[in-house]
Amino acid sequence: MWAVIALIGGVAWTMLALHRGETINAIWFVFAAVATFLIGYRFYSKYVERTIVRPDDTRATPAEYRADGRDYVATDRRVLYGHHFAAIAGAGPLVGPVLAAQMGYLPGTVWIIVGVILAGAVQDYLVLFFSMRRGGRSLGQMARDELGRVGGTAAIIATLLIMVIITAILALVVVNALGESPWGVFSVAMTIPIALFMGVYLRWLRPGRIAEVSLIGFVLLMAAIIGGGWIAETEWGAAMFTLDRTTIAWGIIVYGFVAAVLPVWLLLAPRDYLSTFMKIGVIAGLAVAIVIVQPRVSAPAFSEFAGGQTGPVWPGSLFPFLFVTIACGALSGFHALISSGTTPKMVEKERQTRFIGYGGMLMEAFVAVMALVAAVTLDRGIYFAMNSPAALTGGTPESAATWVMSLGLAGVDVSAQDLTGLAALVGEESVVSRTGGAPTLAVGLSMIMGQLIGGESLMGFWYHFAIMFEALFILTAVDAGTRVARFMLQDSLGNVIPKFRDHQWKPGAWLATAVMVAAWGAVLIMGVTDPLGGINTLFPLFGIANQLLASIALAVVLAIVAKRRHFGGLWIVALPLAFITVVTTVASFHKIFSPVPAVGYWAQHTAFKDALAAGQTSFGAAKSVPAMEAVVRNTFIQGTLSVVFLTLALIVITTSVLATVRAFRGTEVIDHQDPYVPSRRFAPAGLFATAEEKELQRQWDALPADRQPVRGH
């Protein structure tokens, strides 16, 4: 079987890499991804397990020996897989690949598929396992234990600051997708009362009826999408739900605070559950549709912008910016916070961490591949008209079409009628400069699904279905990110005021939540009002910050592996750590020191500052003095954060390398994991129980009642 899978993967990769005809069939992306992921999970993750992890299912997990029914709850591996995937899968795998399509289809495809196997999934798996072995300690706490006061403090500060940027950009993607879209605003807003209803239904009305409430939730979601189309066509509906981006941003800020302080069972748990089914179902459906419809790829393997720094979607060269733009699709530091946050406190058995950590990241990478396919199968003229900022396109179909044609792209022929016709098909006023990646993915999905079901008459439905799907995708990560950031801030403040360590202390929880929401909310408003197009200038900072956080996580893991004296497997961690450190350092240097204003934050800051000093009333994309002042202010903040992030990350990496060298020179095994506690539970390790596990389960069930395990939730 594995020989057949390898053959399919080899043929698919050959077609993607060597095909030089006019177009290529998108089906090869699906085959290449699925075959490579299956082989990577079966063989490479097993190698990591044997070499470094060495799980012991006779050992109790924190969910067993610290069980409290609140945070530490032994959870069925399949349910926990869904929870973990819902928490880690945010905007990154949707937006990053769409933006990366500017460079062509091949660079992004290679980095997503190869990078996740060697880097992203390894990080998620190892952080999850080591956090679980340490009672569910956070990344910052593990850094302090393993790297000492200097490295640990730098890691904690960096993690908090980076979380602010990550959460703000996640929210910004939703804002850009819903701006001036009454259909989208209504449908996404309705997911909140639907989730609240599901929470109350499961808690009080019909406890345990998961299948029942799932069906009800799905029906209500479909009603919200269909109803959104009807309401958007009414005069009162259009007036009520057509909101500008700033208003939507404030709404998300308020929502973020409320969601983080409400009980988990009331909003976050049902939203996680609902969004997981939506995420996996939609991506699987899109993959099937691609196999059946077999759309053709319009983008070349390497585009005209792959060799320069002046791409209209995002400025910068292919190396290093492709690797930070794709972000979560191949490697994500944000995942390390989830893998050392709620998930390790819920793992039932140690061997399940491979399925949840490594397998969960592979699923996210598959999402990224599908997003890339949706982007590269779009007409290239439409792609650039949608993803370039209004400062370049002019904001109207006529000016956008003229500007795209002026780029001189091979095979591109787009007109104003094409853009207005597409907007009418998807039920939007305009598709010009709908930056952020989410609208582009929605258009691509609607075109592919429309060819399978409904044709052009249902493209509006599929578009807004995709927008709601993406908003659910992203808001779940905003929820999780805000809550994790709150816990991190409380733990940090607890070093000064011990009361803050009690996460059940409501005043402390509310204060910490308010501080974190205010921080990412300020960055969100800055992005929404940025004259240069917030997503275009902030997404590179998001990507760099996210990958710097990944380097911090891998640095902590490197020290742990060395202290356990697993030197034979040290390269497994050192390889991705070295690569992503080089990538993020070079990218940071570009953003800090580049003399090109389109690339360097400080170069842009100086250019606009000099223009103001010269008395100019407009400059570049800024058409007024307040807009120019906003650019000066924003670039100062972005440039300063770039310096701070890089400095803190390099401190952590340096202390990690020193700790690794000390461990190599010594002879003592140093491990801060919790003491061994024998387990009295049994559960299978993977998605499906093996024959041996089924037999063991039968023997386990035959034991006296007082020796049988308590079932996970």
Answer yes or no: is 401 within a domain: yes
User: How many domains are contained in the chain?
Assistant: 1
Peptide bond into 320 cis (omega under 30): yes
Range with top average pLDDT, 73-82, 435-444, 505-514: 505-514
Answer yes or no: is 328 within a domain: yes
Query: What is the b/e burial string over 609-632, where b = at least 16 CB atoms within 10 angstroms of the residue's CB?
Result: bebbeeeeeebbbbeeeebbebbb
Answer yes or no: is 60 within a domain: yes
| pLDDT given for residue 266 in this prediction | 81
Mean of pLDDT values over 374-378:
93
Answer yes or no: is 303 within a domain: yes
Mean of pLDDT values over 667-673:
78
What is the tens place of the pLDDT at every residue in 357-373? 999 999 999 999 999 99
- 21 falls in which pLDDT band (50, 70, 90)? low
Two tokens at 307?
A: 């060799």
What is the tens place of the pLDDT at every residue in 98-107? 999 999 999 9
Q: What is d(CA 175, CA 478) in angstroms, rounded to the nearest whole number?
A: 12
Mean of pLDDT values over 650-660:
96
The three-class DSSP label of residue 209 is: coil
Answer yes or no: is 704 within a domain: no
Q: Which helix (H) or strand (E) holds 296?
A: strand 296-297
Mean of pLDDT values over 577-595:
95
What is the tens place of the pLDDT at every residue in 397-430? 999 999 999 998 888 899 999 999 999 999 888 9
| pLDDT given for residue 20 in this prediction | 67
Reply yes or no on whether the pLDDT at 713 is more than 50.
no
Reply yes or no on whether the pLDDT at 311 is more than 90.
no
Reply yes or no on whether the pLDDT at 690 is more than 90.
no
Answer yes or no: is 397 within a domain: yes
Reply yes or no on whether the pLDDT at 379 is more than 50.
yes
Mean of pLDDT values over 142-165:
91
What is the tens place of the pLDDT at every residue in 464-481? 888 877 787 788 778 878
Give the closest residue to 122 by CA, choosing from 300, 448, 361.
361
> Do 611 and 619 contact (CB within 8 A), yes or no?
yes
Of the listed ranges 66-80, 567-581, 661-675, 693-707, the least confidently predicted one is 693-707
Give the closest residue to 633 by CA, choosing from 609, 598, 614, 616.
609
The model's pTM: 0.90
| pLDDT given for residue 711 in this prediction | 45
Answer yes or no: is 645 within a domain: yes
Residue % of the chain over a pLDDT of 90: 50
Reply yes or no on whether the pLDDT at 170 is more than 90.
no
Give the closest residue to 438 by CA, choosing from 26, 97, 78.
97
Q: How far apart are the first and last CA of the chain?
A: 35
> Do 2 and 42 contact (CB within 8 A), yes or no?
yes
Amino acid residing at 244: D
Answer yes or no: is 200 within a domain: no
Q: What is the domain-level CATH number for residue 586?
A: 1.20.1740.10
Give the closest residue to 224 by CA, choosing from 180, 196, 184.
184
Reply yes or no on whether the pLDDT at 305 is more than 80.
yes
Q: Which helix (H) or strand (E) holds 448?
A: helix 438-452
Mean of pLDDT values over 320-340:
91
What is the tens place of the pLDDT at every residue in 244-284? 989 999 999 999 999 888 877 787 777 776 777 777 778 88
Q: What is d(CA 175, CA 557) in angstroms, rounded to the nearest whole number?
A: 35
- 87 falls in which pLDDT band (50, 70, 90)? confident
Q: What are φ and ψ of residue 296, in 5° steps? A: -95, 145
Helices 182-200/139-178 angle, 10° precision: 130
Could you tell me which residue, 492 or 234, shows the higher pLDDT?
A: 234
Mean of pLDDT values over 565-579:
96
Q: Mapped to the 3 state alphabet, what secondary structure does 363-419 carry? A: HHHHHHHHHHHHHHCCCHHHHHHHHCCHHHHCCCHHHHHHHHHHCCCCCCCCCHHHH
- 553 falls in which pLDDT band (50, 70, 90)? very high
Reply yes or no on whether the pLDDT at 533 is more than 70.
no
Q: What is d(CA 713, CA 711) in angstroms, rounded to the nearest whole number?
A: 7
The DSSP secondary structure of 26-52, one letter per residue, reads THHHHHHHHHHHHHIIIIIHHHHIIII
Q: Which domain holds residue 498?
A: 2-180+243-665
Q: Which helix (H) or strand (E) holds 25?
A: strand 24-25
Question: Tell me, what DSSP letter sits at residue 623?
Answer: -
Mean of pLDDT values over 602-629:
89
| pLDDT given for residue 611 in this prediction | 93
Mean per-residue pLDDT over the chain, rounded: 88
- 704 falls in which pLDDT band (50, 70, 90)? confident
Q: CA-CA distances (angstroms) from residue 626 to 29, 629, 633?
A: 46, 5, 10
Reply yes or no on whether the pLDDT at 67 is more than 90.
no
| pLDDT given for residue 549 in this prediction | 96
> Do 556 and 566 contact (CB within 8 A), yes or no?
no
